[in-house]
Structure 1
Amino acid sequence: MSKTLIIGASGQIGKMATELLLKNEQNVVALVRDKSKLSDLDSPFLSIVEQDLEGDFSNAVNGCDQVIFAAGSGGSTGTDKTVLIDLWAATKAATYSKEHGVKHFIMVSSIGADDPDAIESDLKPYLVAKHMADRHLINSGLNYTIVRPGSLTNENASKLISTERPKDRDKAIISRENVAHVLFTIATEQGSNRCIFEVFDGDKPIKAAIK
């Protein structure tokens, strides 16, 4: 059976994706800085690796067929953490994955990462980091899927999405739980297509929307 490494498994989206995979009896390696944040998860399919993404975490990739990078520096941190986590840790994860023969790398990116210059806001350093991490993955030679969610909300999962950006910017949103279900679907059913798509709350079932 395949094994998926989830980097950032204690974050909101990462933990929800971890739970979905475990419920589906998928083998998961959860990479976290503090394993106590996963103390409520109890599954024979789960193993936890406790490491700091600012260091060398290459050993966590060993034996994994698939990697989901769902880590993020968080909105309350400075540009330094954005560079170290959203850019540097993401590029290291792709490099380690290539070295270990990972079959599929799933990157959680962001809407706007395709063209950071198009958005003038405080988010620009974050979008630049995501853009560079995405480019590194694309050029790595790995099979990849890059998921670029809209603005995140805490609504419950509708399991209905769209991959077309709404014309109304206020509607370019998606619940974190919907993103987790998208990651789960890609990880268990989609295979590796070297594709990039944006995701938003919408009206299509996930499988149909990302087919």
Structure 2
Amino acid sequence: MNVLIIGAHGQIGQHLVDELKNDKKHTPIAFVRKEEQVKEFEEKDVKARLGNLEDSVDEIKKRMTDIDAVVFTAGSGGSTGADKTLLIDLDGAVKAVEAAKASGIDRFVMVSAFGADDRDRWNDELKSYYVAKHFADMWLMDSKLNYTIVRPGMLENKDSIGKVLIKDVIEESDVFSIPRIDVAKVLTEALDNEKTYHKSFDLVTGEDSVSDALNKL
């Protein structure tokens, strides 16, 4: 399966490229916005395509030839304002969904945010970010694509723990964070796991293996 990773140069994206490259079942293809990033991936023997989420749907679609699945893990970053958040995290995600649909790509996995499905759980200081994630997720769910929406808790740059808690909604847990590499492991296994099809869920560190947690959905 050829998997286009939109946001491949981000922290989760880079872990995901490595996970897919190592699992032997998928071929990661990086969607990045800078020439030097293309070269960086090609030096690691990973195919890369130059694109920009602020381009038109037709331009994004051109980067989706010979693709079987899309994983969207792009984001404007914490240093940008609400305007860029709406352009990338919302409109960029919507355009990626539209481009996938127009390309005949059915499988689409979205990295969202913990609690994005419920306004009562939104952080007031990050409201524009949650608005963007909320409506991007809704657009994907209404697209008729075979979607999975993963809503990770607070992201940490730690070594893999390899144990997770996955539920439609996590209301009580001792931990509300997760290493980025473990998010990538969940994305990798979710691609082919039918239990995740047409599902959205919260994700934090827990006590189950990734496979066991996904199979409980």
Range that drifts further, 15-24 or 113-122: 113-122
After superposition, what is the alpha-carbon deviation per residue over 1:13-49, rounded to whole angstroms, capped at 9, x for unaligned? 0111011111223222210012423616522xx3211
Structure 1 residue 66 and structure 2 residue 65: aligned?
no
> 1:28, 1:184 → 2: CA distance?
10
Shift of 1:117: 4.3
2:47 counterpart of 1:42: no
CA contact 1:117–1:124 (8 Å) conserved in 2: no
Once the two structures are TM-superposed, the CA of residue 139 in structure 1 deviates from its matched residue by 0.4
Q: What residue in structure 2 maps to residue 178 of structure 1?
A: 182
Residue in 2 aligned with 1:204?
208
Residue-by-residue CA offset, 1:112-134 (whole Å, 9 max, x unaligned):
21123443521111011000000
Which portions of structure 1, spanning 4 or more consecutive aligned residues, are displaced by more than 6 angstroms? none
Could you tell me which residue of structure 1 aligns to residue 154 of structure 2? 151
Deviations 1:52-106 (A, max 9, x none): 2111312111221100000011111100110000000000011111111112100
Retained in 2: the 8 A contact 1:4–1:27?
yes
Counterpart residue type for residue 84 of structure 1: L
For 1:11 and 1:19, the matched residues in 2 are separated by 12
Aligned residue for 2:124, secondary structure, equals: coil
Tell me which amino acid in the other structure corresponds to 1:208: D
Q: Give the unaligned 5+ runs of structure 1.
A: none
Q: Residues 35 and 48 of structure 1 are in contact (CA less than 8 Å); yes or no, is this contact kept in structure 2?
A: no
Q: CA RMSD in A?
A: 1.7
Determine whether 1:30 maps to 2:30.
yes
Within 2, Cα distance between the matches of 1:67 and 1:13?
Answer: 14
8 Å Cα contact 2:175/2:206 also seen in 1: no
Secondary structure of the residue aligned to 1:54 is coil
Contact 2:162–2:209 (8 Å) recurs in 1: yes
**Structure 2 unpaired stretches of 5+:** none
* Equivalences, count: 206
Q: In the alignment, residue 212 of structure 2 is paired with which amino acid? A: A
Match of 1:79 in 2: 82
- Aligned equivalents of 1:120, 1:175: Cα separation in 2: 20
3-state DSSP of counterpart to 2:115 = coil
1:171 is displaced (CA, Å) by 2.2
Is 1:138–2:137 an aligned residue pair? no
Query: Aligned partners of 1:65, 1:119: CA distance in 2, in Å?
Result: 33
The residue number in structure 1 matching 2:172 is 167
Q: Is the 8 A contact 2:115 2:202 kept in 1?
A: no
**Cα distance change on mapping 1:142 and 1:157 into 2, 3 Å:** same
Bigger Cα displacement from structure 2, 29-38 vs 46-55? 29-38
